[in-house]
Structure 1
Amino acid sequence: MILSKNSPLASLMQTFPRPGRLDWIGLRPAKRAVLIHVEAAQAITSAGLEGDHYSGRTGNRGITLLQAEHLPVIAALTGVEGIAPATLRRNLLVSGINLSALKGQRFQIGEAVLEGTSFAHPCSRMEEVLGPGGYNALRGHGGLCARVIQGGQLRVGDAVVAEGADVIGSPDI
């Protein structure tokens, strides 16, 4: 669906209650390797995050993001007390902004500009790490894939802001 920039729906889609916040960064050094938590990472244009095994494979899935607010939902659906972000194998954990609203949008985190390309669907590995039904528990809560439009440094605590968005409040950073 293509919307006129002046349409009421386009205006609604560009209005956010507040910026989001980057809460956690994880790098996957190799396939099936344990994610490494870092406080900062370098986003590389059309590639992904430096030091991540997906970097350079495809620009459209260069970085994966997960909604922090979904962690308790996934934990409840799998019957566990809590889930660490690394368990779900996404690169960035963000809070305070709806990742689904960033699909097809450009947004900035730190110095980097990303574009939401597709939803990050779960893989069969979630059955291993979350137990039976883990795949279905993550469906609809898997986050967003993004490509790097402009490289730069990302740091835990950075704001997440949709490009050209009207932001009503300020983040609690």
Structure 2
Amino acid sequence: MEPSWLPLERTVVMPGSVEEIYVAPEGNVDMRRVPEVRALVGGGLEGDRYCKGTGYWTQYGDVCEVTLIEGEDLDEIRDEEGLAVQNGEHRRNLITRGVRLEDLKGTRFRIGEAVLEYDRPRPPCRHVQELTEPGMTRALRRRGGICARVVEGGAIRAEDPIEVL
């Protein structure tokens, strides 16, 4: 039995962290790498196409506030498929390292000053391939990352740890 003085909400620091951050100011343009970004409640990442309402999928109502993908999966795609997925070609906002994103299902987690909540898996679409190169949609299948909602806003920086709440 746990002592009654323990807090109800615990933080579990995972070995994972944010490796890189990407945003695109509009749909159909190259993602650009930034050292930090501000997460906005109900909006996503400041300066990103989906926060601004200019993302390709906005017209279909399929908006992810924040997208995350595992760096280990991108390494596999590059090594096994020979596809360029490193400099934002994956079309995801946060590249993580050292954490299985599916393990975040049903959780809220802190990255930097922001608190995110797992929303759903983010499978790849043909549009990613239209913007990159043939084979990208197939290569990202089952490795497309996840969507998350912003629960508490704040700054997210490269190298911030991922803490499950």
Report if TM-score (shorter chain) is over 0.5: yes
Q: 1:68 to 1:49 in 2, by over 3 A?
A: same
Q: How far apart are the structure 1 equivalents of 2:63 and 2:150?
A: 8
Displacement of 1:46 in angstroms is 1.4
Q: 1:92 to 1:20 in 2, by over 3 A?
A: same
The alignment of Structure 1 onto Structure 2 pairs a total of residues equal to: 148
Who is 1:96 aligned against? 98
1:49-81 deviation digits (Å, cap 9, x = unpaired): 00001016579710000100101222244334x
Q: How far apart are the structure 1 equivalents of 2:148 and 2:62?
A: 8
Alignment of 1:1-173 (within 5 A): 18-55=14-51, 61-80=64-83, 83-128=85-130, 129-131=132-134, 133-163=135-165
Identical-residue share of aligned pairs (%): 36
Displacement of 1:20 in angstroms is 1.0
Structure 2, unaligned runs of 5 or more: 1-9, 54-60
Structure 1, unaligned runs of 5 or more: 1-13, 164-173
Q: How far apart are the structure 2 equivalents of 1:37 and 1:155?
A: 11
Instruction: Point out the more displaced range, 49-58 or 29-38.
Output: 49-58
Displacement of 1:135 in angstroms is 1.3
Conservation of the 8 A alpha-carbon contact between 1:107 and 1:115: yes
Letter in 2 for 1:147: R
If the length of structure 2 is used for normalisation, what is the TM-score?
0.81
Letter in 1 for 2:64: R
Who is 1:171 aligned against? none
Give structure 1 regions of 4+ aligned residues with deviation exceeding 6 angstroms: none
Instruction: Point out the more displaced range, 151-160 or 68-77.
Output: 68-77
1:95-143 deviation digits (Å, cap 9, x = unpaired): 1111011122100000000001000110102333131x32121111000
